[in-house]
A = this chain, B = another copy of it.
Amino acid sequence: MPKLTEQPIDSQQLLCAVQTTQAGAVILFLGTVREFTNQRQTLALDYEAFAPMAIAEMERIEAEAREKWVLAKIETIHRLGHLTLGEISVGVAVSAPHRDAAFAAGQYIIDELKRRVPIWKKENWSDGSQEWVHP
C-alpha cells in the first residue's frame, strides 16, 4: 500500500509489512541521499509532492505490477520534507512466491515511481546554492 510520510522511513517496518509464508522471496529497495553527483556535493534534499495524485499514481503502479507478476504483498513509501545525507527518501518492498517476480516488480515500481509520481526534489549543494532537480 502506498504511503507518503514526513517521518524517517523504517525499513524494518516495510519488511514486516510484506512478510508472509506464501512468499519465498522478499525484495527491499531503499533510495538514500547520496553525497556526490558528478563531483558536486549534496548537503541535503527537500522533497515536495502533489500528495493525492502521488498516492493515486503509486496505487496505479502497484496494480500494474500485480497484473504483470504473481506477487504477495507490496509496500511503497516516499519521504517528504528535508532529508540529510544517508537518509532514506523512498522504500519499495515486494514479496512473491518466486524471486524473479520480486526483483522484476521491485524494479518496475521504483522505475515507474521516478518516472510518473508527482514528487520533486530540490538539491542543497555544498556551495550553498539550491536547485530543483529536473530530469
Binding site for B on A (CB under 8 A): 11-12, 15, 19-36, 85-86, 97, 99, 102-103, 106-107, 110
Contact = CB atoms under 8 A, between A and B. Distances in A.
A21 B34 CA distance: 5
Number of copies: 2
A29 B29 contact: no
30 contacts: A11-B12, A11-B15, A12-B12, A15-B28, A15-B30, A19-B32, A19-B86, A20-B86, A21-B33, A21-B35, A22-B35, A23-B32, A23-B34, A24-B31, A24-B33, A25-B29, A25-B31, A26-B28, A26-B30, A26-B32, A27-B28, A27-B29, A27-B106, A28-B30, A29-B102, A29-B103, A99-B107, A99-B110, A103-B103, A103-B107
